[in-house]
A and B are shown apart, each in its own frame.
Chain A
Amino acid sequence: MAKVRGAVVVDTEVCKGCNLCVVACPTLTLALNRNVNNKGYHYSYMENPENCTGCTNCSTVCPDSCITVYRTKTVH
């Protein structure tokens, strides 16, 4: 069975920790990191990377365009 797998890369220095991508994520992949970036914001990161399907919802709502999305099909 082919399964869609995805991964997101967050530009942590541009992220302002607005939390909108975390709310938009349908698979609970993203969360705000406990650490902060140089500006003092809790940046977004993949807390549950195995959940990601690469749906691009997070990058669609990101006001700072700091999310890049990758998607692939793996056959099990």
Chain B
Amino acid sequence: MSVLTERINQIIKPENLVYAKTPLLNDDAMHYCPGCSHGVVHRLIAEVIEEMGIQEQTIGVSPVGCAVFAYNYIDIDWAEAAHGRAPAVATGIKRVMPEKYVFSYQGDGDLAAIGTAETLHAINRGENIVMIFINNAIYGMTGGQMAPTTLIGQITATTPFGRNADLNGYPLKITELIAQLPGAAYVTRQSVQTPAAVRKAKKAIRKAFEIQAKKIGTAFVEVVSTCSSGWKLTPVASNKWMEDNMFPQYPLGDLKDSGRADADLYRIKG
């Protein structure tokens, strides 16, 4: 055994441990493609739930999409919703069990296309739930078709010459729409491509869960993500592409952080 191996073995001891996988994540290997942002966001949610000690009080609602198997990976209670209906299912769970922490986890095809009505109305009602929105500008699971969030000029399976505004319309900035709604308490957009961005995203997710405990409206966290298989790029090139093309369209940062609007502003006068 070389000196180097010996030195490494001296470091690898339980008392020197600084980072290990949270026990909330099961040992199943994730089915996601290499470099998929879903894995990071799953881990952040699991770490936040573990740090807050709310494993037994948390119920997740998983979408239709790549994250449909999220219940295999995070060791909490889960419900599986029909395509796009996760906010409606989460509303029901939260109203029946208001003491629980309820969150929905949705992709852009689920939240911004087929589930737009459920999403906007759940937030407009100010439901006390957390919504995690993974925006990768493409339908990842079904083979990379155009989504409402696809950028102009972006090549997908259904727009082989790039998205054309005349034919396909414009990218849907649903997070900006949601920030206008009086029921939204906290609306933010994050990403997970660098260590710094991951740490910021974790803080945002933690804040979203804390807002749910305060019961002041819906907390909405968008995570601008990559889909290296759908974009036909390597994971590292995907991150670069995301920084160059997605961030100008979907700028990071908090869009709203004020709590649910005062109902008196909307009351009839006289």
The chain A residues found within 8 Å of chain B, CB to CB, are: 5-7, 9, 13-14, 16-20, 23-24, 41, 46, 49-50, 54, 56-57, 59-72
Contacts and interface: CB of A to CB of B under 8 A. Distances in A.
B39 A5 contact: no
B192 A61 contact: yes
A16 B239 CA distance: 17
21 contacts: A7-B11, A9-B12, A14-B29, A16-B33, A16-B34, A18-B34, A19-B234, A46-B8, A54-B11, A60-B19, A61-B194, A62-B40, A63-B38, A65-B25, A67-B19, A68-B17, A69-B17, A69-B18, A69-B20, A70-B13, A71-B11
A12 to B, nearest CB: 12
Contacts of A24: 194-195
Given A64-B29, A65-B21, A16 B35 contact: yes
Contact of A60 (B29, B199, B234): B199
B18 A61 contact: no
Contacts of A60: 19, 195, 198-199
Contacts of B17: 68-70
B261 interface: no
